[in-house]
Structure formats: C-alpha cells, structure tokens
C-alpha cells in the first residue's frame, strides 16, 4: 500500500509518516514533492497544490487532515477537473476537534455574558486609575446564543452550550434535532433564527452560498450590542461590515479565529481594535494520533469493501 502525504510544513512530515506507518504496518508513506507523479493508492492531504493531482486518477481515496475541504474545492472551482474524477474525498469526522471547538465557544460565550471582556479592557486602559466598579452581567435568560452550522462540530458546540443551561438556537441547511436546542433550517428560516440573538457563533461550511453571510444585513437582525464569534472561515465575514458595526455600536465586540488572509497582516485594523479578540486559527487543531487512527480505520474499511463516513458531497461542498 502506497500513501502520498502532503503537509504545508516540511518539519511536520516525519511525525505524520511515522504515525501512519505505525497505524498501517503494510503501508509505505512518502511526502509529496514537486514533480512527484509516482503511483499512490491513497493521499493524505492538507492544502495541497493543484500539481499534486496530476496523474492521480488511480487513487482509491483522498483524506483531508481537517473537517473543512474548502481549499480543495476552491482548486476545483478555479480549474474544473483538477481533482481526480470518481475518487472519494474524505474529511475528518471529529478526531478530537469537536470538544476543542466547544471549549472555545463556551469560553467566548461566558466571557461576554459575564462582561469579562469589559473588565479586561478597563484594566488595559486605566491601569488601576478608574474607580473599582462591578458591571451588571447580561441576564442569562435574555442572552440568546445562535450557532450557525449544525454539522459534526456545530451540533456538538450547540449541545455543550445548551448543557450549561444557556438559551441556544441552531441554524442549518437541513433540519436537525438537538436536545435543548431550538433549531431552524433553510434560508427562509434564517431571519427568525437571527431575531434578537445576543451572540452568534459561526460554524457554517465554506461554500459559495455562505461566502459573505456575516454582513451588515445579518448584524441588523441581532439584538443591539450583540457579539460575533467566527470559528469557521474568514470568507464568511465581510470585514468592512464588521468594522462598521463595531464603530456604530450595532455590535459590542467580536472574537475571530479565522480571517480572509492568514496570517492576519500586521497593518490590518483588527489588530488595533480593542473590541476585537484575535486568535491564530487555533479553535480546533488537528490532533495527529486521533486523526491517523481514523484515517487508518477508513482505509482498512475501504479495503474490505465497506462504506465509510465523511465522504464529501462535492456539489454541496461538505
């Protein structure tokens, strides 16, 4: 069995190769390099170049080292036929990411509900000079949270927030049922879902239909002084509209883990906005060992002729 590996950082490759060969003792794993068109049975990929797919029609499956496959689908949109026809594209299903994402969302929700962000700002700006003044926290029963996207990650995040006794709504393309969460489905239900939300957590898949969905029209439907947490993709957010909403007070603050350009350029205004909290795309990191175990199980299942989960519908984009 021959496995082709692509990771953007060369220093990561030896550990991925070793982990895959431990999990699949019959496998020979090599890191792809430019000009490599040698035979492979499977590809394990993260943000590969289009060149990697030259002469790859004999692949049995392609595994993505993440839950999102937007980078690969963008290659196909720019140059149809880049991805080998008929080869299953398989995303990771959790592999330790869902709980990381829930921890991030819970932290952001409690930070804003209890107004810890305002205490942090006061400390930075006043350094003890301001009066010692407690702030009235947002009323729990009025702090309505909306989770946009109820796939594997979003459903887990919504459930974990609801388990804390918070008021949680969920929005998805198709109808979902989650204990403790009021769910909405389809574009026609989006306005009702958004109405009066105090905090929005975005976990939508990145598709042409969701690009720019976090915009001034969406912000206008939220409660005055609402909060935004974007954990999905930077392309979901119209950055200029967020800056406008923060400047006018339509939104009170935002926590952003993803950006249209990553790393975020040093000159970007978000760095200088005290009501914007930035993290470097770390809300749910791929954990090597759980990811490798999942990929190995799926390769073994495919070899037995079994059906596996996580196969991407290329038309839907997830």
Domains of the chain: 2-95+286-303 (3.40.50.720), 97-278 (3.40.50.720)
pLDDT of 130 higher than 90: no
Phi/psi-derived region of residue 94, left when phi > 0, alpha when psi is between -120 and 50, beta in every other case: left
Tally of CA atoms within 13 A in the half-sphere of 146 that contains its CB: 29
What's the pLDDT score for residue 68?
83
If one compares 199 and 67, the residue with the highest pLDDT of the two is 199
Beta carbons of 179 and 160 less than 8 angstroms apart? no
**Contact present, 56 and 84 (Cβ < 8 Å):** yes
pLDDT tier for residue 25 given thresholds of 50, 70 and 90: very high
Mean pLDDT of 284-305: 95
Supply the mean pLDDT for the chain.
95
| pLDDT at res. 274 | 96
Distance of CA 112 to the CA centre of its chain: 21
Q: Is 281 a catalytic residue?
A: yes
Categorize the per-residue pLDDT at 44 as very low, low, confident or very high, splitting at 50, 70 and 90: very high
Decide if 177 contacts 183 (C-beta within 8 A): yes
Say how far apart CA 126 and CA 112 lie, in whole Å. Answer: 20
Distance of CA 202 to the CA centre of its chain: 8
CA distance 259 to 297: 33
Share of the chain above pLDDT 70, in %: 98
pLDDT (0 to 100) of residue 314: 87
Whole-angstrom Cα Rg for the chain: 21
Three-state DSSP class for residue 164: coil
Q: What is the pLDDT of residue 8?
A: 84
144: pLDDT strictly greater than 90:
yes
CB 203 within 8 A of CB 232: yes
DSSP state of 19: H
Torsion of CA 246, 238, 199, 136, to 10 degrees: -10
Instruction: Give the rounded percent of residues in the chain with a pLDDT score beyond 90.
Output: 89
> Average pLDDT, stretch 8-16?
91
Mean pLDDT of 107-114: 98
28 catalytic per annotation: no
Which residue in 144, 173, 233, 236 is the catalytic one? 233
* Residue 315 confidence (pLDDT): 84
Rounded Cα distance, 12 and 107, in Å: 29
Which residue has 């009170």 as its token pair?
A: 252
- In the predicted structure, residue 132 carries a pLDDT above the cut 90: no
CA-CA distance, 121 to 211, in Å (whole number)? 31
Residue 67 has a pLDDT of 78
| φ, ψ dihedrals at 64, nearest 5° | -100, 135
What three-state secondary structure class fits 13?
helix
pLDDT above 80: residue 92: yes
pLDDT at 129: 66
Judged by DSSP in three states, 150 sits in coil
Q: Per the residue annotation, which of 275, 281, 288, 293 is the catalytic one? A: 281
pLDDT at 252: 98
pLDDT in tens, 57-67: 999 999 999 87
Identify the pLDDT of residue 127. Answer: 67
Contact 148, 200 (CB under 8 A): yes
Confidence of residue 128 (pLDDT cuts 50, 70, 90): low
| Range with lowest mean pLDDT among 77-86, 176-185, 240-249 | 77-86
């Amino acid at each position: 069995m021959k496995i082709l590996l692509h990771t953007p950082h060369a220093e990561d490759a030896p550990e991925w190769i070793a982990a895959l060969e431990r999990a699949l003792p019959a496998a020979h794993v090599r890191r792809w390099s430019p000009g490599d068109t040698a035979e492979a049975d499977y590809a394990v990929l993260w943000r590969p170049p289009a060149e990697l797919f030259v002469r790859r029609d004999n692949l049995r499956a392609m595994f993505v080292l993440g839950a999102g496959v937007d980078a690969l689908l963008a290659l196909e949109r720019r140059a149809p036929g880049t991805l080998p026809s008929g080869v299953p594209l398989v995303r990771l299903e959790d592999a330790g990411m869902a709980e990381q994402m829930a921890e991030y969302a819970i932290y952001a929700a409690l930070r804003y509900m209890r107004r810890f962000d305002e205490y942090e700002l006061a400390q930075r700006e006043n350094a003890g000079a301001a009066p010692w003044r407690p702030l009235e926290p947002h009323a729990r029963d009025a702090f309505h949270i909306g989770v946009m996207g109820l796939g594997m990650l979003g459903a887990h995040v919504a459930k974990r927030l609801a388990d804390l006794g918070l008021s949680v709504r969920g929005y998805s393309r198709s109808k979902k049922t989650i204990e403790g969460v009021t769910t909405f489905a389809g574009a026609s239900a989006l306005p009702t879902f958004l109405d009066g939300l105090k905090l929005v957590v975005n976990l939508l898949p990145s598709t042409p239909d969701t690009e720019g969905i976090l915009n001034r029209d969406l912000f206008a439907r939220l409660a005055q002084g609402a909060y935004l947490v974007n954990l999905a993709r930077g392309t979901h957010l119209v950055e200029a509209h967020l800056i406008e909403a923060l400047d006018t007070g339509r939104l009170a603050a935002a926590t952003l883990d993803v950006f249209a350009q990553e790393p975020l350029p040093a000159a970007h205004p978000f760095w200088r906005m005290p009501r914007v909290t930035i993290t470097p795309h770390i809300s749910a990191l791929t954990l090597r060992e759980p990811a490798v175990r999942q990929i190995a199980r799926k390769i073994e299942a495919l070899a037995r002729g079994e059906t596996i989960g996580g196969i991407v519908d290329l038309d839907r984009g997830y």
